[in-house]
Amino acid sequence: MKFLPDGIEKELGLPHEPAQSAPEEDLANQQDLLEKADLEILERFPRLKDQPVWNKDYVPVTDTTGIDSNDAVNPIVGMSGNFSNTITAHIQGLWISAYFQGLLTKDPAEAVDDEAAMHDLRYQTVLHNRWGKWRYPTDWGNKAPSFIFDAVPYLDLLQNDLGVCPHRKGGALAEMWSPYIARDYRTINDEWANLNGNGKAASGSS
């Protein structure tokens, strides 16, 4: 699929070939952030230095994706892959709705016009993308972010942004030993709606 006018995919944050002349906002070309993220990941998880070789065509997400700090109105979802795709789609949809209403507890848009906050936001974006590069080097190549065994931590991040509690099992032992499934998130829409004074969520809370 080709997006017009030429170059718009960089502004939308869609996958694109990195360019040497890319602007600073294109995270795929910020080598200092890439190197810093790689160093942090490998210091915390040194076993990841021993990388298997299976997909020789693998390209890290940050080598194919640019994100412009002015792109606050173009959510792109459905590119992640895990064993909880339906749950992920549900909570991503709720997150996007909250974002557009300005109701995220942790709103990335607040970083705009704050250079220090923007620098941290860019770094966190790179750090999470590079984690996929080291954690899943032989998975889906450059097709999509993939975190097959890390879905719950990702969902926890989304829930923290929404302001709802990610610990949904009712006890420490259950949190450790009971897998998260769809029914554990069945009330999340209503929880978020009540948190924001909206009463019952209109739909999707079954």
pLDDT of residue 203: 43
DSSP string, 159-184: HHHHTS-S--SSSHHHHHHSPP-GGG
Cis-peptide into 5, omega within 30 deg:
yes
- Determine the pLDDT at residue 110: 84
**What is the per-residue pLDDT for 67?**
42
**C-alpha–C-alpha distance, residues 24 and 29, integer Å:** 7
The tens digit of pLDDT for each residue in 185-194 reads 999 999 999 9
| pLDDT mean values, one per 10 residues, the chain (206 residues) | 65 60 67 89 91 64 47 58 84 92 88 86 83 74 64 92 94 92 94 80 43
Query: How many of the other CB atoms lie within 10 Å of CB of 122?
Result: 18
Any idea how long the chain is?
206
Residue 62's pLDDT is: 52
Cβ-based burial of 170 (10 A; exposed 0-12, middle 13-18, buried ≥19): exposed
pLDDT at 142 (0 to 100):
45
